[in-house]
Amino acid sequence: MSYTRSASVQQMIDNAETKLLIYFLDGNVRTQYGRHNFKSNRPARNPRAVEIRRHERSIAKNAPFIKVAMIYDLRDGHEIARFKKGQWL
């Protein structure tokens, strides 16, 4: 089965500066790409910081169910932060 993303979703992924990869305790995996515009579609001064903060909030909300979570910088491919066993490493 092949999945084709809509143009708006693909544009959001292309514009993202960070990616969050979450491995849950039940075996599920989720990938979330950064979204750096505010609700009013006003651009952020520091889009990378906005995306990282949103990823951290998502991890905090799901912390009891997370085995490992990693935030990556999409520009250079390096890992920015790692969350494991309820702690930031």
Residue 1 lies in a domain: no
Contacts with 6 (C-beta within 8 Å, 6 or more apart), sequence order = none
Residue 32 lies in a domain: yes
pLDDT at 83: 96
Please calculate the CA angle 32-60-15 and round it to the nearest 5 degrees.
25
Residue 2 lies in a domain: no
- Going residue by residue through the chain, which has 89 residues, state the pLDDT in tens, using 9 for 90 and above: 567 888 888 888 888 899 999 999 999 999 999 887 766 777 778 888 888 999 999 999 999 999 999 999 999 989 999 999 888 88
pLDDT at 2: 66
Contact of 72 with 21, CB cutoff 8 Å: yes
Query: What is the rounded CA–CA span in Å between residue 89 and residue 83?
Result: 6
pTM of the model: 0.84
Residue 74 lies in a domain: yes
